Amino acid sequence: MNRVRLLPLFRYAGIAVLAGLFLCVGHASAAPTKGKAAKNAVGIVFFAAHDCPRCENVKDLMKVLKARYPLRVKDFDVDKEADYALFKRIEAIHAADKFAVPMVMVGESILMGEEEITGKLEKTVRALARSGGSSFPYLGSAQGTKAVAKPASSSCNCEQGRPPDVTDELSKLRKFIEKLF
């Protein structure tokens, strides 16, 4: 007689175990979506001045874009000494002309001025997010380090605070392949 009473109990326990498994599987399958959103995040570097009305308008645009796309934003205030030094170092690395704020670096683009940023930033962010995201743009060598003179035989210009370009990397690859064959 005890067997008859235990049968419904086993049935309910089995249903509870199955429900728990479905919940665990559902939770595990939802986790990669969060990681995927972080993986597709677009890295943006934003330089502004605290008393600049155009910079405030771009900050408002950034808030809107953060709601629409997965963004990671590093903000710098050129009124702070360290941030201004970084701004000037990036200017020396990336531009022949003078930089101005507001300035946004995203992917391979440097956008300056409220008009250019509001006209191009969302399109650039959308394209980068759809293609898998982007890391933060290159900001030069670490602060406080001095640039080392480039050896005459080296084709890399990293020591001067600049990233290697595609032709440098391709020439290294060709030399490596030639050594193999």
Residues 125 and 45: their CA atoms lie apart, in Å, by 12
In 10 A of CB 90, how many CB atoms?
22
Tens-digit pLDDT string for the chain (181 aa):
555 555 555 555 555 544 454 444 444 333 333 444 566 799 999 999 988 999 999 999 999 999 999 999 999 999 999 999 999 888 888 767 788 899 999 998 999 999 999 999 999 999 999 999 999 887 876 544 333 333 334 344 333 344 555 666 677 777 777 777 7
> Which residues neighbour 134 within 8 Å (Cβ) at sequence distance 6 or greater?
42, 43, 106, 107, 128
DSSP readout, 93-135?
HH-SSPP-SSEEEETTEEEESHHHHHHHHHHHHHHHHHTT-B-
User: What does the DSSP 8-state code read for residue 51?
Assistant: T
Residues 176 and 181: their CA atoms lie apart, in Å, by 9
User: What does the DSSP 8-state code read for residue 80?
Assistant: S
The model's pTM: 0.58
To the nearest 10 degrees (0 to 180), the angle between helices 114-130 and 53-68 is 20
End-to-end CA distance of the chain: 83
- Residue ranges of domains in the chain, CATH in brackets: 40-130 (3.40.30.10), 146-181 (no CATH)
